[in-house]
Structure 1
Amino acid sequence: IDKYKAWLISNGSAKNTVISYCNLMTKVLQVIDLDNLTEENIVKYILELNEKYKDTTVNQTKKALRSFCRFLNLDIRIPKDKTVDIRLPKFITEEYFEKEIINIVPHLFNSPLKINAMLYFLFYSGLRKGEFINLKRNDINLTKSTIKVYRQKTKTERLTILAGKKAKSFVELYFGTEAEGDNAFNISEASLKYIFEKIDSYLKNQEFYAHLLRHSFATHLRKKGVSIEDIQYLLGHKNISTTMIYAHVEIDGLKNRIDKIIK
């Protein structure tokens, strides 16, 4: 796997692709020995994956297998990717977050308090993944429910909020159980990605990724009547045109009110 990783890097693969492919191929090689990496055994392995995981996960494994076969100069045909029918909501409700996400965390992870603290924090702050990973605990004022965010890309700072008492409670509990390491939640980009992928693999008809929580936070605020300008500030959007994607919530609410008046 180390040689494969070096090969991927030398061929210009993105950091996340290298991590993902190496993780997936490690799992494959735990089931199929390198000497037995044949077309027949790969097809059997993929058929087993089809029974356990969503098409998106299986397709990603197929991509990793194709790459690995090129690395080894193996002439093996990997089955074509399945066409994924994406009919997914662009945000999740608070109810869905609680019932479908938070409730399964204790069954998937050995440290559910830490995982839930991170998920609540992301859902009720709307931070970008990179902003979240770069946070220090000194940036988080739980008394005032504020967060100081520094964005490396633009070299800018902003003060945003951590909404909701439950998010604050989970974060306080977690901070009390684990000292700060490299960042506020002692999490790497690869580990955060793994957490979302693991939860995603257990959900049906709903993709789950970090940016979904950011989008859900903004949508929830808009439904509660928070202005586009305020959402722009909280999300750290430079141009309000980026924030205007949340205007559809206002239109939906307006339509519902009109429908009640005009039959």
Structure 2
Amino acid sequence: MKIRGDTWSGALESTLRFLATEKDHSVNTQMTNRLLLEAFARWAVAKNLVSPASVTSEHLYEYLEKEKERGLAPSSLKASIVALRHFFSYLRQEGLISVDVSQDLELPKVGLRIPRILSEKDVLQLLSIDLPETEEGVRNRAIVEMLYGAGLRASELVDLRLTSFLPEEQLLRVFGKGRKERVVPLGCAAIHALEEYLRSGRPRLVGTRRCDFLFLKRGGRPLSRFSVNQLLLQMARKAGLRHGIHPHLLRHSFATHLLHRGADLRSLQLLLGHADLATTQIYTHVEIDRLREVHRRFHPRGK
């Protein structure tokens, strides 16, 4: 979306190009930054701030207070502040403004959000449903096995290529956030489902089209994240799972089940592709909740 006034448009586009190339931000992060910075620019233009150089720290506090009053969650407010910091830091670095007015902005404390997971029984129920022996049915089974078996993000799944699967090594090469590469082992069930899809599903879906993406829809076009979400919802309904199922729920379940069965945090971090171990540690809180319930149920003085 173009912001009224060439000064704002130029500053936004330059910043976003810099973040995409030099900071290696993921596509999702790029989209988020664009939406947040465009929202701020619209507000600034409405306040007759003709360029980023017109913005003061007081303006930033006023804007963020307005967003807070609008009911913005602390996590969303934090994302806005991070985007504004990137924006004004870049403009100062390039000499387009004399002072970085965002440098004193403090990030709000975001409460720990414990991820929802499926039980191992629920996952088995999802993986055990009868699917039609069609190319789509074979593909869908492979998708669910890969999401749970490798802990993939939806964006990582739809970005897989034919060369991502290393059958001899039984590994999957994955590009995660910031195009960071990791290699994930695949279990027997995931390998079997994937090989079946490559043998009998994908050739029919690709037809005469040339496409190196791994997971396709009919006509040889790559699957979108929306399509993956939709097919998961349909499979969950068929499995009798009432709560909404989405790819990240399977990723959370993958991590929690591994931890529950004895995996260490460092290995889990590598499997999930987390840059920071602190991100992985959220799963220890899920495990603590389980241990608390075990204590409550079985200790003689637990109730």
Tell me the TM-score normalized by structure 1: 0.57
Select the residue among 221, 238, 247 that pairs with 2:258: 221
**1:231 Cα offset (Å):** 0.9
Q: Which amino acid aligns with 2:182?
A: R
Q: Which amino acid aligns with 2:142?
A: A
CA contact (8 A) 1:141 1:147 kept: yes
Please name the residue that 2:198 is paired with. 175
Select the residue among 108, 115, 127 that pairs with 2:152: 127
Going from structure 1 to structure 2, the CA distance change for 1:225 and 1:184 (only over 3 Å counts) comes to same
Cα-to-partner distance string for 1:221-249 (whole Å, 9 max, x where unaligned): 01111011211111111112211111024
Secondary structure of 1:158's counterpart equals strand
Q: Which amino acid aligns with 2:190?
A: A
**1:110 Cα offset (Å):** 7.0
**1:173 Cα offset (Å):** 1.0
Please name the residue that 2:120 is paired with. 94
Q: Distance in 2 between matches of 1:257 and 1:143?
A: 44
**1:117 Cα offset (Å):** 0.9
Secondary structure of 1:176's counterpart equals helix
Query: Identity of aligned pairs, percent?
Result: 28
Q: Which amino acid aligns with 2:151?
A: G
CA contact (8 A) 2:127 2:145 kept: no
**1:114 Cα offset (Å):** 1.3
CA contact (8 A) 2:151 2:255 kept: yes
Instruction: Indicate whether 1:159 and 2:183 are aligned.
Output: yes
Please name the residue that 1:191 is paired with. 227
Going from structure 1 to structure 2, the CA distance change for 1:122 and 1:95 (only over 3 Å counts) comes to same
Please name the residue that 2:273 is paired with. 236
**1:118 Cα offset (Å):** 0.9
Going from structure 1 to structure 2, the CA distance change for 1:142 and 1:249 (only over 3 Å counts) comes to farther
For these two proteins, the number of residue pairs brought into alignment is: 175
Secondary structure of 2:281's counterpart equals helix
Q: Which amino acid aligns with 1:155?
A: R
Tell me the TM-score normalized by structure 2: 0.50
Secondary structure of 2:152's counterpart equals coil
Secondary structure of 1:238's counterpart equals coil
Going from structure 1 to structure 2, the CA distance change for 1:258 and 1:145 (only over 3 Å counts) comes to farther
- Structure label with greater radius of gyration: 2
Q: Distance in 1 between matches of 2:295 and 2:142?
A: 36
Q: Which amino acid aligns with 2:124?
A: E
Going from structure 1 to structure 2, the CA distance change for 1:101 and 1:154 (only over 3 Å counts) comes to same
Q: Distance in 1 between matches of 2:283 and 2:174?
A: 22
**1:204 Cα offset (Å):** 4.7
Q: Distance in 2 between matches of 1:143 and 1:221?
A: 24
Secondary structure of 1:103's counterpart equals coil
CA contact (8 A) 2:256 2:286 kept: yes
CA contact (8 A) 2:274 2:280 kept: yes
**1:105 Cα offset (Å):** 3.8
Structure 1 gaps, min length 5: 1-13, 16-88
Q: Which amino acid aligns with 1:143?
A: E
